[in-house]
Structure 1
């Protein structure tokens, strides 16, 4: 007896645990007959999950929180019992913007404060010359990409709502938009940054792990009502995803995982590009310059798969900082309750370890993040919409 499930995903490398769980047969071993449905936009994934067309989904962590709070759309409580990835995003800029930033930089190009300050000088010169504001692409208003871009820019004195344009683009459309000059830069998940570099239309300026040491990116999301009616099915799905994450994190399995993910109906880009992502060895410039980072994308290692409510608190704090919602203690409690380490621990039969507030996020600017003091966190930043 197998249980049929329909699960939506976006063609990104941080969907790998779901894809490998299905295509390697780990889900079938757990008695699950999973149909993976490839989507283009996060609004499609969210809406189909909310109305029950999908049983589960590969979902932006902030969308799970926003849906549970009724922000930007209808209120549908969501639970996230498994992290599909920490980090994995990058900021990619056009050759022209890259040259402009490098022309203004004072310091190391991998230092996000140095590039943020250089960007502020580029923005000031453009304003003085009467040029149009720079346009940055991100994947969704309630997205890590939006908050990571804003956090980086604002640290250097650039107001993301006044000094530049931020526009929403589905991940697969980012590269064409950069190539056509519709945007000057974007923040997106793998593999689309690497695709832009390989095509010669972009330079990877930063890995998101330069900006935040640990950033909850995508989650395995289900409706709360569904989780309560199907606890055994959900536990089986968590186990299958955990086994897949463990498989992917073994270096000897990376080539096979990349081939699985490269299939046209999955991510649909060259396996070599995907393996670079999984290995954390990326080409960052069209001239072939490479950069390695063990923290580029964490699929399962270092406790990455276990949801951390402190990460949800940081995302909620960004929603407050940028005017998407008001600060309310009950809403913070709801946001943190979306991330469910208890369900993860129960499914895997283990006692998890919580991440302390001092190292829950590890942002490059501002004080250490403490979920118990959101107001103190927000008060440390000059740019934003929140006021005490």
Structure 2
């Protein structure tokens, strides 16, 4: 267990590579010296944080690798690999004190599904909070090489007739995602439904942990999948399939993963939470700098983290995309984002979309009070407090909890002030 500490040691030296230290030294110009000097010290020196082997876990990994947790007085933070999102959920239910975890790199809808008891044993709610967003963009929808001549891309319509024939033959297409009601499930459902393919009727949807996607497609267990990087890029590099679309093409600058914590940990350790947030924010700024992408890919590729060739990570970190079907695009603006454009801030309007989509597909009841649930789980106030303590420049702190209406690739518009109008505009849905 982390030990109690009386005050924050603000002169802890950064550990890690010389290059990383130099980069972070430069970053201190963004965070004025002593900006957090008045903050009270952490109640404990650490926490147990889970992560899945996905590129968007980078802020937690970098904060650990480069000594940022130590810098802010929580050197005993553990960043622990989880086998699946189901395992993440189960370990959050256990909690750090019971050999589980206190928080995690997590699918943005999952804390809501846990807080409402929709995905927990015996439907027992687990009070959870989202305290930061970890990234925007750079997930992918990949398709088996068997469909390379069909012409499917951002528009999935070419698959409609093919999938209908498979269903009629008694072998419906298998489409994989990573957790029911999670982001990857919602992206692939949106993509299919926009093409008139009902994901509840026309295909078979299955749940597969992210690191197992490529191997399962290789042996023919699925026709398509949606997952984060580096697995789409690895699929292309191994010649097993191709990327039909990246999720940033479905909704540019979309929110993806979050940093979630158990409410009891937050209540008992508010200063520790602030310290964790400051470390993660600094890591996000470092990870967002284009000049650091190759080093980031090297770090994530290590055996202890992802155990993959850095080449599987680097391209899409930079927005350079080899789709694997003859299409190659560079400097697309679809790179994974960690800080710019207010990426780190957890907009309540974004969580409202996730909840509305979970209502659309029957994971939450139609009677769900979206605003009330978002206000309960989204703790953007903790983010603002940490940002102010850290000395984040005013331009990087949003003035509103809403980013306003969002427009999708098919022309649909989500107004967070009127989720029901968005739902009414959708033809394919399965309301509970």
TM-score, with normalisation over the residues of structure 1? 0.91
Whole-Å separation in 2 of the counterparts to 1:141 and 1:269: 26
1:16 aligns with 2:61: no
Greater relative contact order, per chain length (Cα 8 Å cut-off, separation 6+): 1
Whole-Å separation in 1 of the counterparts to 2:284 and 2:117: 31
Q: From the superposition, tell whether residues 71 and 246 of structure 1 become closer, same or farther in structure 2 (CA, over 3 Å).
A: same
Partner-residue secondary structure (3-state), 1:243: helix
**2:67 match:** 25
Q: Deviations over 1:75-133 (max 9, x none)?
A: 11111111111122100101112322x1xx6xxx4xx3xx22222232234456x2621
1:352 aligns with 2:398: yes
1:118 aligns with 2:173: no
**2:47 match:** 5
CA shift at 1:152, angstroms?
1.1
Moved over 3 A (4+): 124-128, 286-292, 329-332, 355-359
1:68 aligns with 2:118: no
**2:77 match:** 34
CA shift at 1:290, angstroms?
4.3
Match of 2:425 among 365, 380, 383: 380
CA shift at 1:366, angstroms?
4.9
**1:232 match:** 271
1:266 aligns with 2:305: yes
Aligned positions, number:
375
Partner-residue secondary structure (3-state), 1:37: strand
Partner-residue secondary structure (3-state), 1:70: coil
Which stretch of structure 1 is more off in the superposition, 350-359 or 320-329? 350-359
Partner-residue secondary structure (3-state), 1:333: helix
Q: From the superposition, tell whether residues 45 and 127 of structure 1 become closer, same or farther in structure 2 (CA, over 3 Å).
A: closer
**1:184 match:** 223
Partner-residue secondary structure (3-state), 1:19: helix
Which is strand-richer, 1 or 2?
A: 1
Q: Deviations over 1:279-322 (max 9, x none)?
A: 11122116684454213321111110100111111111111111
Root-mean-square deviation over aligned CA pairs: 1.9
**Higher radius of gyration, 1 or 2:** 2
CA shift at 1:337, angstroms?
3.4
The gaps in structure 1 that reach 5 residues or longer are: none
**1:50 match:** 93
Q: From the superposition, tell whether residues 320 and 20 of structure 1 become closer, same or farther in structure 2 (CA, over 3 Å).
A: same
Is this contact kept in 2: 1:133–1:164, CA < 8 A? yes
Partner-residue secondary structure (3-state), 1:36: strand
The gaps in structure 2 that reach 5 residues or longer are: 6-43, 389-393
Which is helix-richer, 1 or 2?
A: 1
Q: From the superposition, tell whether residues 368 and 334 of structure 1 become closer, same or farther in structure 2 (CA, over 3 Å).
A: same
TM-score, with normalisation over the residues of structure 2? 0.82
**1:278 match:** 317
Whole-Å separation in 1 of the counterparts to 2:325 and 2:194: 28
Q: From the superposition, tell whether residues 281 and 233 of structure 1 become closer, same or farther in structure 2 (CA, over 3 Å).
A: same
Partner-residue secondary structure (3-state), 1:3: coil
What is the correspondence of 1:177-326 to structure 2 with a 5 Å cutoff? 177-285=216-324, 289-326=328-365
Is this contact kept in 1: 2:174–2:205, CA < 8 A? yes
Is this contact kept in 1: 2:231–2:312, CA < 8 A? no
CA shift at 1:265, angstroms?
1.0
